[in-house]
Chains A and B, each alone.
Chain A
Amino acid sequence: MGTLVKNELFKLRKKSSTWIMILLMFVIMLLGPILTILSGSEVMSYTAISSAGALWLVVTLISSAGSILSMEYEYGTIKELFASKYSRGKILISKWFTIFIYSIILNILLVVYTGIIYYAGRLLTTNMSFTWSENAISGETVTTMTESFLRMLASDFINAWLVISVVFLLASIIKKSSLAVTLGLVFFLTSSMISSLLSSLMKLTNLDWLKYTPFNMLFLNFNESTASLEKVAHLNATQLGIGSLIYIIIFLIIGLLFYRRKEV
Chain B
Amino acid sequence: MTTELKVSHLNKKYRTKKALDDVSFEVKSGQIVGLVGPNGSGKTTLMKAALGLIKVDGEVEIQGDPVTFSKHKQLEKVGQLIEYPAIYPFLTGYDHLKMFADGKNQKARIDELVQDLGMQDYIKNRAKSYSLGMKQKLGIAMALINNPSLVILDEPMNGLDPHAVIEVRQLIQKLAKQGVTFLISSHILSELEKVIDHLIIFNEGKVVRDTTPQELNGSYKIRVVIKTNDDRAACETLNNAGFKMPKTKVSFLLKDETTLAVVIKFLVEQGFDVLDVDKQASDLESSLMKLLYPNESAQGGEA
Query: Is A87 within 8 A of B55, CB to CB?
Result: no
Contact A11 B88 (CB under 8 A): yes
The answer, yes or no, to whether A76 is at the interface (CB within 8 Å) is: yes
Closest to B139 in A: A80
From B80, B84, B87, B88, contact of A83 by CB (8 A): B80
Q: Give the interface residue-count category, chain A.
A: 20 to 34
- Docked CA distance A84–B99 (Å): 13
A119 at the interface (CB under 8 A from B): no
Provide the bound-state CA to CA distance between A60 and B80, in Å.
34
Q: Report if A87-B72 is in contact (Cβ < 8 Å); known contacts: A10-B99, A79-B83.
A: yes
For A15, the closest partner residue in chain B by CB is B90
A2 to chain B, nearest CB (A): 12
B188 at interface, CB cutoff 8 A:
no
Chain A residue, CB-CB nearest to B55: A263
Does any Cβ of A come within 8 Å of B82's Cβ?
Answer: yes
Q: A79-B53, A80-B142, A263-B54 are in contact. Are A85 and B73 (CB under 8 A)?
A: yes
A83 touches B99 (CB 8 A): no
Q: Which residues of A contact B86 (CB under 8 A)?
A: 75-80
Residue of B nearest to A6 (CB): B99
Neighbouring B residues of A7 by C-beta, 8 Å? 99
Chain A: minimal CB distance from B5 (Å): 14
CB of B95 within 8 A of chain A?
yes
Q: Are A77 and B87 in contact (CB under 8 A)?
A: yes
Asked if B100 contacts A87 (CB within 8 A), the reply is no
Say if the beta carbon of B300 comes within 8 Å of chain A. no
Most-contacted residue by chain A among B82, B83, B88, B90 (CB, 10 A): B88
Closest to A76 in B: B86
Report the tally of A-B residue pairs with Cβ distances under 8 A.
66
Also in contact, A83 and B53, with CB within 8 A (given A14-B90, A76-B84): yes
The answer to whether A85 touches B88, judged by C-beta atoms less than 8 angstroms apart, is no
- Residues of A contacting B52 in the complex (Cβ-Cβ under 8 angstroms): 82-83
Contacts of A71 in B (CB 8 A): 88
- Whether the pair B76, A85 counts as a contact (CB closer than 8 A) is yes
Interface residues of B (CB under 8 A from A): 48, 51-55, 69-70, 72-73, 75-76, 78, 80, 82-91, 95, 99-100, 102, 142
Q: Which residues of A contact B83 (CB under 8 A)?
A: 76, 79
Interface assignment of A231: CB less than 8 Å from any CB of chain B: no
Q: Other than the known A15-B90, A76-B87, A263-B69, what 13 A-B pairs have Cβ atoms closer than 8 Å?
A: A11-B88, A11-B99, A14-B90, A14-B95, A16-B90, A75-B87, A76-B85, A76-B86, A82-B52, A82-B53, A83-B52, A83-B80, A85-B73
- Complex CA–CA separation, A86 to B72 (angstroms): 6
* Nearest-neighbor residue (CB-CB) of B87 within chain A: A75
Please determine whether A11 and B72 come into contact, CB atoms closer than 8 angstroms: no
B150 shortest CB reach to chain A, Å = 12
* Residue of B with least CB distance to A263: B54
A203 part of interface (Cβ distance < 8 Å) = no
Please tell me if the beta carbons of B90 and A83 are within 8 angstroms of each other in the complex. no
CB-defined contacts of B87 to chain A, threshold 8 Å: 75-77
For the complex, give the distance between the alpha carbons of A10 and B88 in Å: 12
Q: In the complex, which residue of chain A has the Cβ closest to the Cβ of B69?
A: A263
Closest to A78 in B: B86
- Please tell me if the beta carbons of B95 and A83 are within 8 angstroms of each other in the complex: no
Q: Are A264 and B70 in contact (CB under 8 A)?
A: no
Inter-chain contact A83/B76, CB cutoff 8 Å: no
Q: Known contacts A79-B83, A83-B82, A264-B53: does B95 contact A10 (CB below 8 Å)?
A: yes
Q: How far is the CA of A260 from the CA of B70 in the complex (A)?
A: 8
Q: How far is the CA of A15 from the CA of B48 in the complex (A)?
A: 29
Known: A14-B90, A75-B87, A80-B86. A85 touches B53 (CB 8 A): no
* B residues near A15, Cβ cutoff 8 Å: 90
Q: Chain B contacts of A78 at CB under 8 A?
A: 86
CA distance A38 to B69 in the complex (A): 62
Q: Are B90 and A84 in contact (CB under 8 A)?
A: no
Closest beta carbon of chain B to A79's beta carbon, Å: 5
Complex-state Cα separation, A221 to B259, whole angstroms: 96
